[in-house]
């Protein structure tokens, strides 16, 4: 078997295959070591870290929907310092390829986060989570404004020097293609799409919203068609690689993303209920190769 057959390249970085775990569901990575053969994957995108530790949201954080999951975890994380000191090194030791997910938060913290990241020896690829609420923007995500996306991506490229920068986009916008284009113009090496879709739920017993923050992020099979459309839309706008994520829950789903033009895929929610899925997708790719993108009419 040719080990390199399914290797892919994003920017200057080579990944052994195009099957990644998505940021968040996989935590810092090794939590899943008993359930998933992590070193066999192309990469594990670790939970988004911010410069300072974050407590995340109070109240209920999870609610299952029909074929989906609403979450309101709220970027709880240990903060970048502890992440680089404690969480990242064991991944390298275990032979796992990490992609470091960084919170595109308020400008000064973001700059400090990038500077700290630039001081790390091994980090050759980061994913910017552009869906983080931004206080300077009244809680709106950076990722809804093309100008901000450009500024945030450019600063990352400037400070991180050689590292590949992936811009992870939110689908909660008018035209995700425009935001992808903005990221590409600013020098992004790849686009990751999509983050969760805005949703909410109401408890009919109490008559109150289920979540403290009312709105939450929808993921899982329910959003797969939304993600697929986003990948197709982005593909038409940009030349850089697109990483498809959203609801992938079978090898056939993965195939659709490659057909739509994705260079790689990420699996999130599915690892909660089917930790065997990444392995199944890898086997399918090993058997049949990575499907070539089809030409999609506009």
Catalytic residues: 132
Q: Which of residues 195-214 bind another protein (CB under 8 A)?
A: 212
Measure the CA–CA gap between 162 and 118, rounded to whole angstroms.
9
Nearest Cα to 51, choosing from 96, 98, 117? 117
Among 10, 26, 176, 240, binds another protein (CB under 8 A): 26
71 binds another protein (CB under 8 A): yes
Q: Quickly list H helices, 27-142.
A: 80-82, 88-93, 107-118
Query: Are the CB atoms for 234 and 180 separated by under 8 Å?
Result: yes
Among 50, 134, 170, 219, binds ligand FMN (CB under 6 A): 219
Among 196, 233, 235, 241, binds ligand FMN (CB under 6 A): 196
Which of the listed partners (another protein, ligand FMN, none) does 246 bind, with a CB threshold of 5 to 8 Å by partner kind? ligand FMN
Which of the listed partners (another protein, ligand FMN, none) does 22 bind, with a CB threshold of 5 to 8 Å by partner kind? ligand FMN
The arrangement of strands across the sheet holding 215-219 comes to 62-65, 68-71, 215-219, 197-200
Dump the DSSP string for 199-241: EE-EETTTTEESSTTSEEEEESGGGHHHHHHHHHHHHHH-SS-
Among 66, 121, 207, 295, binds another protein (CB under 8 A): 66
160 binds another protein (CB under 8 A): no
CB closer to another protein, 93 vs 147: 93
Query: Are the CB atoms for 96 and 41 separated by under 8 Å?
Result: yes
Measure the CA–CA gap between 226 and 92, rounded to whole angstroms.
34
8 binds another protein (CB under 8 A): no
241 binds ligand FMN (CB under 6 A): no
Can you say how many angstroms the Cα of residue 102 is from the centroid of all Cα atoms in its chain? Answer: 10
Measure the CA–CA gap between 111 and 84, rounded to whole angstroms.
16
Among 238, 245, 265, 282, binds ligand FMN (CB under 6 A): 245
To ligand FMN, the closest distance from the beta carbon of 27 in angstroms equals: 9
x/- string (CB under 6 A) for ligand FMN, residues 121-160?
A: --------x-------------------------------
Can you give the binding site for another protein, defined by CB under 8 A?
24-28, 30-35, 38-39, 47, 55-56, 58-64, 66-69, 71, 73, 76, 93-96, 212, 220-221, 249, 269, 271-276
């Amino acid at each position: 078997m040719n080990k390199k057959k399914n290797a892919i390249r994003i920017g200057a970085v080579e990944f052994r295959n195009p099957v990644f775990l998505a940021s968040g569901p996989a935590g810092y990575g090794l939590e899943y070591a008993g359930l998933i053969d992590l070193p066999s994957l192309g990469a594990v995108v670790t939970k988004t870290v911010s410069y300072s530790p974050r407590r995340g949201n109070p109240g209920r954080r999870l609610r299952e929907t029909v074929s989906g999951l609403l979450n309101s975890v709220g970027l709880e994380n240990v903060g970048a310092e502890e992440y680089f000191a404690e969480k990242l090194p064991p991944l390298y030791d275990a032979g796992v390829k990490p992609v470091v997910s960084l919170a595109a938060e308020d400008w000064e913290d973001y700059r400090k986060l990038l500077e700290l990241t630039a001081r790390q020896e091994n980090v050759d690829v980061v994913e910017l989570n552009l869906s983080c609420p931004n206080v300077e923007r009244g809680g709106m995500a950076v990722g809804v404004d093309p100008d901000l996306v450009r500024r945030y991506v450019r600063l990352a490229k400037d400070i991180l020097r050689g590292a590949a920068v992936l811009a992870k986009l939110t689908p909660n916008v008018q035209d995700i293609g425009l935001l992808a284009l903005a990221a590409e113009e600013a020098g992004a090496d790849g686009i990751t799409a999509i983050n969760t879709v805005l949703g909410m739920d109401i408890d009919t017993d109490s008559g109150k919203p289920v979540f403290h923050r009312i709105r939450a992020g929808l993921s899982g099979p329910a959003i797969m068609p939304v993600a697929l459309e986003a990948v197709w839309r982005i593909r038409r706008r940009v030349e850089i690689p697109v990483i498809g994520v959203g609801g992938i829950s079978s090898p056939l789903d993965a195939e659709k993303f490659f057909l739509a033009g994705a260079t790689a895929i990420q699996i999130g929610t599915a690892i909660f209920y089917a930790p065997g899925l990444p392995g199944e997708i890898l086997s399918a790719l090993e058997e049949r190769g990575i499907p070539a993108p089809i030409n999609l009419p506009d």
